[in-house]
Structure 1
Amino acid sequence: MPDQSNPASGKPRNLTVKLPYGSVEDFIQRFAASLTSGGAYLRVEEPSPVGSLVQVELQLRSGERVLFFLGVVSFTTGVQGEGVRGMGIKFLQLDEASRSLVARACTGRPGAEAPLPPLPTGVGAACGEFTPQPATIFSFHVSEAAQKVGAAPPAAAPSPAAAKAAGPVHIESPLDKVVPPPSKPTGPIIGIDLGTTNSCVACVKGDKPYVIPSREGHNTIPSIISLSSRKKLLIGHPAKDQILTNPKQTVFGAKRLVGLKFHSPVVQQVIELFNYEIVEGSRGEAAVRLGGAVFSLEQVSAMVLVEARRVASQHLGVDVQRAVVTV
């Protein structure tokens, strides 16, 4: 039985799994129950210990690759003699083709945007550090929540040598302009799906759900922020456009590391896999550095929420003060 208490150590386990599917469409239809935007569940004879890093390649029957990703084992099943032997793996990094396929497979499926890997029915109970759960739905005032996140203790500053080399840097964040909501918020209520890869904002029009388009006319907003060469923070599609030309200052997939300590084995082993700089925040958590300023991962998510609210306010022509958010 694998040791469920040991954290990840050493190099990731390389795992290649050939699935009995003849096409990508067949894979999407039949593997969907084992897939969310946050991770995947795999049936394997020897599950890796919870907390272990794994590098996984999923292939079709022909040997064609359909998914390739680095992840951390979130839970296992069947290791105590009951249920199907397998493991839930939380995505840490996917290649571009895999990211697109996951988004395609999860589109329109309830709960598919969950940040954790799924626990398919019939495989038994999950055993591990945490168990998968559906997306949490809660109500809050967008401006108030963003202000609370933005008001967190300042993150650790760069070293004196780095600060001297970089010179004085002022980065204006959208969180700086957030104001408290009125005591009794009114007006339309929007829904925001805060996803790991993309986010979506919607409302109800004429008793029917309506997806509010982004500033660029898309149905989703990339959950990405970037610092341009002019020291301006970009959010959404403008930030996504910076991935190839400005990779070291473009943060994507940050929600996967929210809540993890900087010195945890998982974070330490994936630091070199991201182009942007992951540093230690003021509370010992994993954070990111952009242009000399350090932002917590909660602040990164808050910026995406602020952008979603602004898009909705502009589209509806009113100041949106209320929202329901899934994370």
Structure 2
Amino acid sequence: MSKKVTINVIAETARVSKTTVSRFLNGKFDNMSEETKERIAQTIENLDYHPSRQAQALKAKNSLLIGVSVADISNTYTSRLLKGISDYFQNTIYQVLIMDGDNSIAREYSNLEKMVSEKIDGIILQPLVHQPEHYQLLIDEKIPVVQVDRYTEPFTWSAVVSDNFQKSLEVAELIIDKKYEEIIILANHINGVSSRMNRYNGLKSGVENTNISIKLIEIDDIENWQNLLLSMIDSKTKKALYALNGQVLWEIIRLLKKHNVSIPDDVGVIGYDDDMFADMISPEITAVSQNPQEIGRIAADNLMQIMDNHTTVPKTTRIPSTVQIRESL
């Protein structure tokens, strides 16, 4: 019979103390070198060690569960966000409970109710509702919460987001430089979604002292938004389309190709979040490239720090994005 793998065995094999192994499993990496972390992680993998969550939970007197609520799990941005979160917690004592809101406020609320009933130790939330009191009615103030991608207002919990406003300012500079006369912004509904509001407001601020006009199409609210967009493209002004997320960007590309609208000759195109595919078509699409995996990792780390240090002061962390200039403008 093979010898049972314990923390003592891991410590002996990795040539570290039992305390160091315990700190590693609890995600407490302060003052721990990268070399030590890698050696412990490799030892755990080599020995195929799987800690008993039930035993650890009894010892720690908590659930050792982290709840993650996302707006739409089918979105490729979300899959990369979840990758960052799950990778962070992989070698800790915590297990991650992922629940999909499916862009439904009712479903999101039901999911959060289930999380709270499981006595989760912390929540990473991609909120569908902009008002914090909607969540505060359900989530006890003792439960640590970190928001990702977007946040509620007034600001209540820490958040890790892209630098949305700043990047739209850069998009505005690019549009001015390319001498566009009009920009059509396309998005799902904007009001109440901080990421989209910041992208819209950043662009608006960037062109406010120019003659460039802005028009907004919220595709969720217009039944025949495709026909509306095509009719607007037919006008003589030099215009660009700005899609505020990856899903909308690809709907636009599909529509333009179907109707033989030439990019960028007939209309320029730029998207926010290219889903890593924007350079794989012709012409290559200019897009803002986000780093959702890093957003997820930092959010997980922030949540761990809040749980460890019992900090309550909310902060915003903005992860830099990059404007990838290609052929579509």
TM-score (norm 1): 0.26
Structure with higher Rg: it is 2
Structure with higher strand content: 1
Higher helix share: 2
Scaled by the length of structure 2, the TM-score of the pair is 0.25
